[in-house]
Amino acid sequence: MPDTAVLFDASDKIYEDHFPGYPVVPGSFVLQTVIEILQAEKKTISFRNVRFRKFMEPDSYQFLVSKSGEGWKFKVMKNGEKYVTGEVE
């Protein structure tokens, strides 16, 4: 599965409230992006072992998704640093 570049745009109105003065990408945005990437491969998605390792400011991130046994693993990266990791069944 190819890597997917995703831009979380700082001008999105969600960041006015999440959080004022220090915008942070909502975790639900991250998980929804993984769902959209895997929709063609899986009809039902169940997340396991999701770790939000760093706050994600609005910016461009790489979503790396790879097959792992019966499921999938994913990482969200920027500049070689892991921001989110997890598994999908």
* Domain chopping of the chain, boundaries: 4-88
Of the candidate CATH numbers 3.20.20.70, 1.20.1090.10, 3.10.129.10, 3.40.50.300, the domain formed by 4-88 belongs to 3.10.129.10
Task: Say what the pLDDT of residue 43 is.
Answer: 80
Residue 7 Ramachandran class (φ > 0 left, ψ -120 to 50 alpha, else beta)? beta
Residue 54 has pLDDT above 80, yes or no: yes
- Higher pLDDT: 39 or 60? It is 60
- Per-residue pLDDT reduced to its tens digit, 6-32: 999 999 999 999 999 999 999 999 999
Dist CA 18 CA 24 (whole Å): 6
pLDDT tier, 88 (very low <50, low <70, confident <90, very high otherwise):
very high
pTM for this entry? 0.92
Mean pLDDT of the chain: 95
Dist CA 71 CA 89 (whole Å): 5
